[in-house]
Chains A and B, each alone.
Chain A
Amino acid sequence: MLAPAMAEVVAVAAESLAGSRARAARTVLNQVVLPGEELLLPEQEDAEGPGGGGERPLRLNAGARSRVRVVCGPGLRRCGDRLLVTKCGRLRHKEPGSGSGGGVYWVDSQQKRYVPVKGDHVIGIVTAKSGDIFKVDVGGSEPASLSYLAFEGATKRNRPNVQVGDLIYGQFVVANKDMEPEMVCIDSCGRANGMGVIGHDGLLFKVTLGLIRKLLAPDCEIIQEVGKLYPLEIVFGMNGRIWVKAKTIQQTLILANILEACEHMTTDQRKQIFSRLAES
């Protein structure tokens, strides 16, 4: 995926090293950015003249709030008034749909190692049961803790039926670098919404995080084509884990192989494989 971009990267790196000046985020959209680059937000572009002194011209309405709130997403950090790139990848931007302005900037990068993030739905494996909590391995630096009361309809007397080795689909409520991550299997209203223990059988395998996001995109063709093959069930975890289940073991394995391989296939190759499968 990044092979054709390597030529771009070299050209871009040379340019930016020579200039060593912050670029406007607007001009770099959908291009490769490297860690250490600083990006200017649209409001600050007019301040940076050709000399690049960095002084902002006085405005008449200095008191009024002329800046809009911008969200910097994964791969970016705040550095004074600018955005600092921390991961290499393509810079993306999303316009705000409604209400508060500014939009979201983020870096579309590829990695295999998951870092727990609050609000993410993940698939975890129960590794230990100690007292009132379960220890769940989510692929992060430490196992997440899951309280037995965090299931729908669970009370002190009515404990959920969870054993060591079960697969759990849940979301994080606490996930930062200072504390142990905590997850739950209910939402804020107390309903399960599909979370909880994932059923028996099926196959769990690991893919890169970028592939998960690609497959969960609203207009993903791969999922639509896969759904036409035969009855099946898939669960995607944002930690790079996918669980699949079909009626027979062979179908399950075919599905797992397709999903793992489709990261490196072109559209034509994929269509070939699907048509061959549909025939058999």
Chain B
Amino acid sequence: MAAERKTKLSKNLLRMKFMQRGLDSETKKQLEEEEKKIIGEEHWYLDLPALTEKESFIIEEQSFLLCEDLLYGRMSFRGFNPEVEKLMLQMNAKNKAEVVEDKTEEVDVSDEEMARRYETLVGTIGKKFAKKRDRASYEEDENGDVKLIKAKKMFLKPHD
């Protein structure tokens, strides 16, 4: 019965924020224009000739950052604070837009270690989803890795 007649939502409801999230940009623009038209008729305005603002070609800035290329304010030398030294390279390179030459890709964990971790991860996660009676079949290895020792009890097909 509800599928026969499309519920007609009021305009105010459609203009609410949560109804507009799903719209694409075009429909949004159309709705905005319609709203502006509605508002434009009601708003009061001054009936004066448009004042042309003098276009100024001089921009005032009080900051020294535009004037001089200054380095980053935090500095560390001879390894006193390694994080700050890393930051120094980063920020000063950004300022000068230089290509950092020594870009050593530091891999935190080697591939072998990743493989080993995943191997044990399977055991620990598997234990979480195992039924209570199967949890006994998981035992801890010498290294502390949780591994499945004996085969899980599966359905054995009768011979005949």
**Which A residues are within 8 Å of any B CB, using their own CB?**
41, 67-74, 76-78, 81, 83, 92, 94, 102, 104, 106, 115, 117-121, 169, 193-194, 213, 216-218, 223, 226-228, 230-238, 245-247
A115 CA to B74 CA, complexed, in Å: 21
Q: Is the CB of A78 within 8 A of B84?
A: no
> How many interface residues does B have (CB within 8 Å)?
30
Chain B, residues 40-65, CB within 8 Å of chain A (1/0): the string is: 00000000000000001111111111
Residues of the B chain whose Cβ atoms lie less than 8 Å from the Cβ of A77: 60
Chain B, residues 95-127, CB within 8 Å of chain A (1/0): the string is: 010000000000000000000000000000000
Smallest Cβ-Cβ distance to A172: which chain B residue: B63
Q: Is the CB of B64 within 8 A of A235?
A: no
Residues of the B chain whose Cβ atoms lie less than 8 Å from the Cβ of A213: 64, 68, 70
Is B137 an interface residue, CB under 8 A from the partner? no
A94 CA to B64 CA, complexed, in Å: 12
Name the residue among A73, A102, A115, A169 with the largest chain B CB count within 10 angstroms. A73
Residues of the B chain whose Cβ atoms lie less than 8 Å from the Cβ of A233: 74-77, 80-81, 84
Q: Is the CB of B67 within 8 A of A104?
A: yes
A235 CA to B62 CA, complexed, in Å: 22
Residues of the A chain whose Cβ atoms lie less than 8 Å from the Cβ of B57: 67-70, 81, 102
With beta carbons under 8 angstroms apart, the residue of A67, A78, A245 that contacts B60 is A78
| B135, chain A: closest CB distance, angstroms | 36
| B54, chain A: closest CB distance, angstroms | 9
Smallest Cβ-Cβ distance to B90: which chain A residue: A193
Smallest Cβ-Cβ distance to A123: which chain B residue: B73
A175 CA to B20 CA, complexed, in Å: 37
A102 CA to B56 CA, complexed, in Å: 13
Residues of the B chain whose Cβ atoms lie less than 8 Å from the Cβ of A81: 57-58
Residues of the B chain whose Cβ atoms lie less than 8 Å from the Cβ of A117: 62-64
**Which B residues are within 8 Å of any A CB, using their own CB?**
56-81, 84, 87, 91, 96
Given A218-B71, A223-B75, A227-B77, is A72 in contact with B63 using a C-beta cutoff of 8 Å?
Answer: no
| B93, chain A: closest CB distance, angstroms | 12
With beta carbons under 8 angstroms apart, the residue of B58, B66, B73 that contacts A83 is B58
Name the residue among A69, A76, A228, A233 with the largest chain B CB count within 10 angstroms. A233
Residues of the B chain whose Cβ atoms lie less than 8 Å from the Cβ of A246: 80
| B89, chain A: closest CB distance, angstroms | 12
| 4 shortest interchain CB distances as A-B pairs | A227-B77, A231-B78, A231-B80, A216-B70
A71 CA to B57 CA, complexed, in Å: 8
List, sorted by A's number, 22 A–B pairs whose CB atoms are closer than 8 Å.
A68-B57, A69-B57, A69-B59, A74-B61, A74-B62, A94-B67, A115-B62, A117-B62, A117-B63, A118-B63, A120-B63, A169-B74, A216-B70, A216-B71, A216-B73, A217-B71, A218-B69, A218-B71, A232-B76, A233-B80, A234-B74, A235-B73
Q: Is the CB of A227 within 8 A of B78?
A: yes
Q: Is the CB of A70 within 8 A of B59?
A: yes
Smallest Cβ-Cβ distance to B57: which chain A residue: A67
Q: Is the CB of A71 within 8 A of B61?
A: yes
| A88, chain B: closest CB distance, angstroms | 17
Residues of the A chain whose Cβ atoms lie less than 8 Å from the Cβ of B84: 194, 233
Residues of the A chain whose Cβ atoms lie less than 8 Å from the Cβ of B66: 71, 73, 104
Residues of the B chain whose Cβ atoms lie less than 8 Å from the Cβ of A41: 58
Residues of the A chain whose Cβ atoms lie less than 8 Å from the Cβ of B87: 193-194
Given A68-B57, A216-B71, A217-B68, is A73 in contact with B62 using a C-beta cutoff of 8 Å?
Answer: yes
Residues of the A chain whose Cβ atoms lie less than 8 Å from the Cβ of B80: 231-233, 245-247
Name the residue among B67, B71, B79 with the largest chain A CB count within 10 angstroms. B67
